[in-house]
Structure 1
Amino acid sequence: MIGWYVHHHGFGHVSRFLAVQPHLRAPVIAFSSMPRPAELAADVEWVLLPPDAEPFDAPDGTRVDPREAEPTARGHLHWAPHGHPGHRERLATIAATAASRDLQTFVVDVSAEVVALARLLGARTVAVTQPGTRTDAPHALAYGLADRIVAPWPEGAVPTPGLAAHEDRVAWTGGISRFDEREAPDPVDERRVLLLGQVLSADVRGELTRRLSERGWNVTSVGHDDASRVDDPWPLLTGSTVVVSAAGQNSVADLAASGARAVVIGQDRPFDEQRATAEGLEAWGLARRADGDVSAEELVDLVERAAGDAPDWARWRVAGAAARMAAVIEERLP
């Protein structure tokens, strides 16, 4: 049986899980603070973990901010606040389930602390990594302990200094998208721009929409708030002339699966993850790049330049990537 830790920030980690899980032969128990995804198969167990970042009551009754409770252990960990009941309970739940259900392999996407716990429990541990300068002590600990490391993008696309000492255990799967193998409709010759996700502030989004509309573009914006979310953005991805998106791993994999002409914005994220990805996409000629402080005027120019691009998204190796990750997870399973 396989355990799988799904980080609760954003939707990329759970989307990756949903893409890979159907390719696994062995049953899976998922652990996360996120609610169970509605589209998850009924026979897959989902263990809801308590949150570990909210203030908590100390034994003497004082209210404690976990950021003030030595959460990094002097830089050796990312998050393990002293005395937090939610943090203790989530690790205890994972450990108890691993013992009672005989979890032989544990996938961690992502947490240095859960990698350490899984390996200390004797599980074969598969750590999912992300782009960026991850050379800090907690990442070095996780990479050193992991039996296998999954990098869900093509080798050479993004500099990975933190992985240099561990390349014998790294599997470069290519981008993992829920849309892999989904057929794209025939392109429509229209001037359509899709603004995808929480990639722009409301002011910039409004100004960009106005400027593009004045130049004859049809603009659609989805995913920037709860009201604008769509369950299936595939028709919009494949039916747009240009897509403006963040440079997160999940977003980029979806762009690759759809073959989109794109402008990717490297948002401010830990370890410069998105900036590194955006720079790699630009260097490979796959997308136009912008920084998080890009203006509406600059974006209009980038969109109109991107409309003439012909990106070779096959280089991002989305086709078969979810199955390749599943094969890494199930190596040496009985």
Structure 2
Amino acid sequence: MSTIGWYVHHHGSGHLVRFLAVRPHLSDDVVVLSSLPEPAALPPRTRWVVLDRDDDVVTGPDGVARDPHEADPRAGGHLHWAPLHHPGHTRRLATIAEVVAAERPGAFVVDVSAEVGVLVRLLGVPLVAMTQPGVREDAPHRLARGLAHAVVAPWPAGRIAGAPPELHEVGGVSRFGGRPRSAAPEPGRVLLLGGGPEAPLRAPGTTGDWHWHRLGDEGWVEDPWHDLCRAEVIVSAAGQNAVADLAAAGARAVVIAQDRPFDEQRATADALREGGLAVVVDAWPDDDAWPALLEAARRLDPPWERWQVAGAAERAAAVISSTTERWR
């Protein structure tokens, strides 16, 4: 029995949710490294190591405050984020190296960071890279992907345009994969999924007989499955985890592609539109457009099985385990 390392990016909650979906299907011990705080309940045989942040303003020895965005973080386009003279960045990578030296992991999953992927491979550990949709042919992405022993894509095979051929397209990874519905849709009920703290989605002014509910308005919802099932229509951003949850619930949905690096959400939205899986718009609609959009979503019979959520977490775990076994 060996240990698997797993880097969880701190932007949003999607990377953590994906880890928690895949973790039950791995038989090895896992050590997680992230700038996120340790979750209240970790799966058994899982250890969490908190990393320093590397994106805050720091004061140099000369007493001058320095913004890491102005400290050559992209290294002339060869990297995505490696700011000069940032102590948090230095300690963060040093901690990863210390954990690798102590644990000697059989493989290391990176979700997502080109720099952490390069470091792990330089330390002599088999690398499993999680990837995201979008246009990712820049030098750092190509380098990390080329160093990886396996690249896992959490979307269905052949659905995302421009995906490189070496990917393991395992299907949409949802924490709700295979879970039976807990309620029938309530006519006229619209569930609004937030869209993230940087660009929250908002309910429009008036939409006739439709009744809007925002997930989390009454506090953090640990298990939103019942809310997903009760909605007749769900309005959501086009993030990978959100779309996988829509597929797991068999939802009728209006999906808005938000601006994200590398056109990540637009690539996913295009796949949903082409597959007839949701009503897709490229920007937040005007209030008077909503009644027609909701009616169009209500009439959908989306073939969500095409998003291949069933068994996706198990398939991702199988890629990780096979990489560990191959290079043990």
Question: By the TM > 0.5 criterion, same fold?
Answer: yes
Secondary structure of residue in 2 paired with 1:45: strand
Percent identity, please.
53
1:231 counterpart (211, 222, 227): 222
Q: 1:309 to 1:171 in 2, by over 3 A?
A: same
Secondary structure of residue in 2 paired with 1:159: coil
Range moving further from structure 2, 282-291 or 193-202: 193-202
2:270 equivalent to 1:279: yes
Q: 1:305 to 1:32 in 2, by over 3 A?
A: same
2:206 equivalent to 1:217: no
The CA deviation string for residues 35-66 of structure 1, in whole angstroms up to 9 with x for no partner, is 11223225310000010000112222211110
2:94 equivalent to 1:101: no
2:184 counterpart (176, 183, 187): 187
Give TM-score scaled by structure 1 length: 0.92
2:51 counterpart (41, 49, 58): 49
1:205 counterpart (192, 195, 202): 202
2:291 counterpart (291, 294, 300): 300
Matches within 5 A, 1:119-268: 119-161=121-163, 163=164, 167-168=165-166, 170-198=167-195, 205-206=202-203, 208=204, 210-212=205-207, 215-223=208-216, 228-268=219-259
How many residue pairs get matched? 323
Matches within 5 A, 1:104-119: 104-119=106-121
**CA distance in 2 between partners of 1:107 and 1:200 (Å):** 26
Q: 1:204 to 1:123 in 2, by over 3 A?
A: closer
Report the CA distance between 1:255 and its aligned residue. 0.3
1:134 touches 1:160 (CA, 8 Å); kept in 2?
Answer: no
Report the CA distance between 1:293 and its aligned residue. 3.6
The CA RMSD over aligned residues, in Å, is 1.9
The CA deviation string for residues 80-124 of structure 1, in whole angstroms up to 9 with x for no partner, is 001111011111000111011111200000000001001111111
**CA distance in 1 between partners of 2:256 and 2:11 (Å):** 19
2:130 touches 2:152 (CA, 8 Å); kept in 1?
Answer: yes
Report the CA distance between 1:237 and its aligned residue. 0.6
Range moving further from structure 2, 311-320 or 37-46: 37-46
- Amino acid across the alignment from 1:205: R
Report the CA distance between 1:186 and its aligned residue. 4.8
1:199 touches 1:245 (CA, 8 Å); kept in 2?
Answer: no
Q: 1:220 to 1:189 in 2, by over 3 A?
A: closer
Q: 1:7 to 1:26 in 2, by over 3 A?
A: same
Q: Which runs of 5+ in 2 are unaligned?
A: none
2:308 equivalent to 1:317: yes
Range moving further from structure 2, 2-11 or 59-68: 59-68
Partner residue, 2:16: 14
Q: Which runs of 5+ in 1 are unaligned?
A: none
- Amino acid across the alignment from 2:293: L
- Amino acid across the alignment from 1:155: A
